[in-house]
Structure 1
Amino acid sequence: MNEKSKVYFTNLRTTGSNNILQKLKKLVLEAGLGEIDFENKFTAIKIHLGEPGNLAYLRPNFSKVMVELIKGQGGKPFLTDCNTLYVGRRKNALEHMDAAYENGYNPFVTGCHVIIADGLKGTDDIEVPLEGGDYVTEAKIGRAIMDADVLISMTHFKGHEATGFGGTLKNIGMGSGSRRGKVEMHSAGKPFIKEEKCRSCKMCSKICAMNAIYYGVDDGKATIDHDKCVGCGRCMGICSFDAIAVPFDQSNDILNKKIAEYAKATINGRPQFHVSFVIDVSPYCDCHVENDMPIIQDVGIFASCDPVALDMACADACNKAPIIKGSYLEDQIHHNHVQHPEEKDRFTVTHPNTNWEVCIAHAVKIGLGSSEYEMIEV
């Protein structure tokens, strides 16, 4: 796509008569939210609900603005995310909901319900056909997200140790993948058993459609036959003891490309709108149980109907923002003896083994959006 997409921006300066929530409302309406037909439409608001202990996640007050606007246009919004692949407090729907409520994401604050899109154990998904991808032919997307008529994303823009940064494409692509979808994106290999955690409950073999799991005669521990295993990841969802893991053996570049392909599968063929908050730009993913101090000065809020242009605009803005003294980014500059750091990409300096531009380029290649944009300040 060569045509420039429109990206709208508002800074974080406020007055007594124009606070940040009012500015957000004006921004998204100017950017086109009001032009979407929400009447009686189920609207998924894809958001990271925050891993407890990490305080960089988006405040639920921002979600309330979006919820009220969508309801005002006759829509039926709900906040949603999928369960995590790693062990934490968002790996199943019950703990995930507890975490969401603890972080303020409840109907009393936001005005709508939270639905964990891939169900209790991360196994409730839909296989979505994808044409034109290099790696994915059927993306495994959380059912509630695919059941929605409209998709809205709200993203906290931050650094990421595997993808360079976590922006809108990652929020939609990785975030909408079920647990087995996340397996597909993160790994070229297949799940394996952590014997020290296996309780020999045999639940994994009951859900395996390929009869790929058997048990030791002496110790009763599970083993996965990789000749039979197709890597669907459902055994990971059913295991209550975190005894099944996946080898994270996919290169970061391929991971980035798969994220772009999953993002396309998620949003293809239905109305979409995206908001990205370039604030508290921490060096690592919000999935951590902690958040380090920001690596750059806060920038503002961006919105667009094109997720690719939105990520590009946010990255460009970050690369113009002042580096914060004492941050992890400054540590990396000193540790790696980076010359002229103000001219370097903030995210590749923070995580030298990553290249976020791969995701953008692949998203453009598969027709997800444009990397060229026109910035409109609101």
Structure 2
Amino acid sequence: MGKSKVFYTDLRTKLGETLPLKLERLVKKAGICDLDFKDKFVAIKIHFGEPGNLAYLRPNYSKVIVDIIKNSGGKPFLTDCNTLYVGRRKNALEHIDAAYENGYNPFTTGCHVIIADGLKGTDEAIVEVKGGEYVKEAKIGQAIMDADIFITMNHFKGHEATGFGGALKNIGMGCGSRAGKMEMHSSGKPYIDENLCVSCKACYKNCAHGAISFGENKKASIDHKKCVGCGRCIGSCNFDAVNAAGDEVNDILNKKIAEYSYAVLEGRPNFHISLVVDVSPYCDCHAENDLPIIPDVGMFASYDPVALDMACVDAANKQSVIHGSCLEEREKHTCDHFINTHPETNWEVCIDHAVKLGLGNKEYELIEV
């Protein structure tokens, strides 16, 4: 296999040249217009950002991609799946509110926002993972699988469980339904926080396997022998009393993300864009963002999500550490900024497993635009 092509542009501008224009030139040079968009539904997978966090990608960037697709006759929509944790994006109504609050609406981006796994995170497609070591059938947001073409716009940053969040993280974890996210995060089953349970029995009514019962204290409990880990009880609880175990080790979590990415991408035209800007140490799922750990680097695009992630992490690791950042305060174990920021996880596990699955190539040719 030859080297994959990754296209790159820096963030310098001059009179008459804007960052959106540079992004347009980048993706066209990378071949986005080679895709046949005519009359096709195009899912643009993006992280809308948890309200309060200001490191997420500005919607101005997504409008560039939306306009290219629409001008080519395509039907684009911006999409993400509901979160597993408590926050402003745990159901479709709050998720859309959060997206709009952060500027992702039809007036600023030129297309609609669709939450791919539905109102409560239960609208999912079951997708076979051929050769999956940990996942045999991935649970993917239905609207994502209904799309004809799949595109990612990735905010490249640090991540506490995967080392960094790039294309594969945005695809694999981001496209999982609530049950899918629970499968990746957990080797166990959900549990009830009795302090938050109000005995409304919504979880009981939504359990198809008779796993939920109520004791003398009128609090719910889950029989893990009967529970299949579908996550519907989490989505049905309006009081955040049902939680995932979150007990999967990071190496296995990273491999599951690669396998979920395979489920999303296999057999479909796809294209990927990453912006290495505002490289905060933690995920945009946080309702806050810390000082970036490195300076802004630039914009990258490729048909190969593995090569794209490799190019971004290589470019990031060449940067100096920002004074006052949490990375500066951490003990330096290696020359890798992301392992130094989160020494409890190894990002290379996800990359290597994705290569094993045939998702892409670690070797790349960087082409500056």
TM-score, structure 2 length as denominator?
0.99
Name the structure 1 match of 2:167: 168
Letter in 2 for 1:23: K
Q: Look up the SS of the partner of 1:86 in the other structure.
A: coil
Aligned partners of 1:3, 1:243: CA distance in 2, in Å? 51
Aligned partners of 1:259, 1:186: CA distance in 2, in Å? 9
Name the structure 2 match of 1:84: 83
Name the structure 2 match of 1:326: 324
Query: Cα distance, 1:27 vs. partner?
Result: 0.3
**Pair 1:346 & 2:326 matched:** no
**Pair 1:51 & 2:42 matched:** no
What are the residue-to-residue correspondences of 1:1-378 with 2, within 5 Å?
A: 2-216=1-215, 218-332=216-330, 336=331, 338=332, 344-378=335-369
Mark the runs of 5 or more structure 1 residues left unpaired by the alignment.
Answer: none
Letter in 2 for 1:83: N
Aligned partners of 1:222, 1:129: CA distance in 2, in Å? 33
Letter in 2 for 1:97: I
Letter in 2 for 1:306: D
TM-score, structure 1 length as denominator?
0.96
RMSD of aligned Cα (Å): 0.9
Letter in 1 for 2:147: A
The 10-residue stretch of structure 1 (198-207 or 23-32) with the greater mean CA deviation from structure 2: 198-207
Q: Look up the SS of the partner of 1:284 in the other structure.
A: coil
Q: Look up the SS of the partner of 1:14 in the other structure.
A: coil
Q: Look up the SS of the partner of 1:250 in the other structure.
A: coil
Query: Cα distance, 1:78 vs. partner?
Result: 0.3
Letter in 2 for 1:346: H
Aligned partners of 2:33, 2:360: CA distance in 1, in Å? 21
Aligned partners of 1:224, 1:3: CA distance in 2, in Å? 51
Mark the runs of 5 or more structure 2 residues left unpaired by the alignment.
Answer: none
Q: Deviations over 1:330-371 (max 9, x none)?
A: 011xxx2x37xxx61000001110100000000000111111
Q: Deviations over 1:124-164 (max 9, x none)?
A: 11111111110001111011111100000000000001100
Aligned partners of 1:155, 1:166: CA distance in 2, in Å? 8
Aligned partners of 2:84, 2:13: CA distance in 1, in Å? 39
